[in-house]
Structure 1
Amino acid sequence: MLRIATAAAACLLLTAAALPENAPLPQTRPGAPAAIVAPAPVPRPEAPKSSKPTEPDAPKSLPAAPDETSDQPAEMQGPPRPPLTIASETDADHQACETELQALGATFKDIPRIDDGNGCGIDKPILLSEALPGIKVKPEGKMRCATALALAHWMKESVIPAAGTALKDAGRITTINQASTYICRLRNNATTGKISEHARGNAIDVASFTFEKGTSVAVEPRREDSTLTGAFQRTVSAAGCLYFATVLDPESDAAHEHHFHLDVISRNGGFRYCH
């Protein structure tokens, strides 16, 4: 009986004993593959609520262009451009130019101020009919005195001597046939871009020269022209940069394939563009 009572008491003690909270993990048998334990799932953050459904893979919207309407003011890229105005000329400068032009023998007259808006116009325009004595400008051209003066010097000091050497059998030059002087337009007659120097009276387009004996030398592509006529054109084109700030000839681009564009635009540092 004593043994039975002792055994019963031991069973009660074993039953009442608390099991440990962290039971030992089973040991892996040597040589057996390790057990793969799946990582605990990470809770996915709740998507923010939106009043508008977005289309999947929709491209991100670009910032509005400066000229588009927006609830937010557009970022300024710089001060607004002032409207184009006509460059003014002092009476003293204009008179000095006309005095020099008269001394060269040019024929011209003063005409009323031109103002066609949008920056087109000439403060003190002249109408040039002869660049030098006996050398007509056809048709007569409206321009600034400075443009006419550059044309007269170019003709006297470069074009006439070159023609006398290369084309002496044709006689003297009698006419400068011009394709454009003053006209209110953009460069190259484009619909957008910068205003042309023609619109400021700074430019003349020379299409051909007529000679005393009836010969006419047209301005055209002559880079490969090995004749004296080709040499004459290339010579006077190169010399033009001594008198004009811009010289564009038929080799520059398609827009000038049949004339010289000559202008007296004022650039910083006296920079000149000749092509």
Structure 2
Amino acid sequence: MGAAGRPVPARRGPPPAPAAPPPPPAPPPASPAPAPSAEPAPAPAPAPPPPPPIMTEDPQAYNQCLTDLKAAGAQFTERPRIDDGDGCGIDKPLEVTEILPGVSLKPKATLRCAAALELSEWMRTLVIPAADQALPDKGRLTAVDQASSYICRNRNSRSDGKMSEHAKGNALDIAGFEFEKGDVPMKIVPDSEPTLPGAFQRTINSSACLYFTTVLAPGADETHKDHMHLDLIKRRNDYRVCQEPN
């Protein structure tokens, strides 16, 4: 008790410490990372278009062609149908040894009748008269040196691209001509010289487009630098490609 007998209040202690805040709730368990999606498989390459079918000869037109070719004096043999796959082939191939009487094809050429007939007409009406006029010292023209007739390949022998007319028997490559006087064939070459041999070379290049729908003169491009290419590809409105030497 304090003085005067009054009771002394009991000393109060410090206030209790505030309660600790509850711990934050635990985060939800992490979802497993999604597996990386697989790359979609590439779409399959489209199938290449089927090769064109071998052209079937019209019987009436073919028989007329044979009649005309025989009348021209060509020497040839009819051969069995050629089908080398991939669209290559000739329905009614001819193996031609003479394109006109006394004018050989060296070596013999395998062609469609239509191609052989156009070659025969061009030689008869233009090439031989031009040779007689421009090259009288060489004597009679006796042979056509051909570099390629029927062969199953694409244009310019590429691994892709369009099929060559050679693969249809519609084309012939000519490297030169042989004459009765002289042991060396006359090569077909670009010739712009103001001479009779030059005039002959230019005449055969330009005149061929009267009979063939494609004429690539020697030197027209790298793949035709040493021969003349002739073919009978069909284009709209009878359009023709007549390419002179570069």
User: Which TM bucket (shorter chain)?
Assistant: 0.7 to 0.9
Aligned to 2:134: 166
Aligned to 1:186: 154
Aligned to 2:185: 216
Equivalent position SS for 1:175: strand
Confirm or deny that 1:271 pairs with 2:239.
Answer: yes
Equivalent position SS for 2:230: strand
CA RMSD of aligned residues (A): 2.2
Aligned to 2:165: 197
Displacement of 1:51 after TM fit? Answer: 6.0
CA distance in 2, matches of 1:178, 1:245: 18
Aligned to 1:231: 199
Displacement of 1:110 after TM fit? Answer: 0.2
CA distance in 1, matches of 2:77, 2:42: 51
Displacement of 1:52 after TM fit? Answer: 8.6
- The one-character-per-residue Cα deviations of 1:78-137 (angstroms, maximum 9, x if unpaired) are x98343210111221111101001111111110000000001000010000001000000
1:236-247 superposed matches below 5 A:
236-247=204-215
- The one-character-per-residue Cα deviations of 1:130-176 (angstroms, maximum 9, x if unpaired) are 01000000100001000000000110011011101110110010000
Displacement of 1:239 after TM fit? Answer: 0.1
Unaligned runs of 5+ in 2: 1-32
- The one-character-per-residue Cα deviations of 1:192-232 (angstroms, maximum 9, x if unpaired) are 1111000000000000000111252101222x333321210
Question: Cα 1:52–1:99, aligned 2, differ >3 Å: closer, same or farther?
Answer: same
- Give the residue type in structure 2 aligned to 1:69: P
- Give the residue type in structure 2 aligned to 1:185: R
TM-score where L is the length of structure 1: 0.71
Equivalent position SS for 2:83: strand
CA distance in 1, matches of 2:63, 2:239: 26
TM-score where L is the length of structure 2: 0.79
Unaligned runs of 5+ in 1: 1-49, 54-63
Aligned to 1:99: 67
Task: Report how many aligned residue pairs link the two structures.
Answer: 207
1:148 to 100, 116, 127: 116
Question: Cα 1:84–1:167, aligned 2, differ >3 Å: closer, same or farther?
Answer: same
- Asked if the contact 2:115/2:231 (under 8 Å) is kept, the reply is yes
Aligned to 1:87: 55
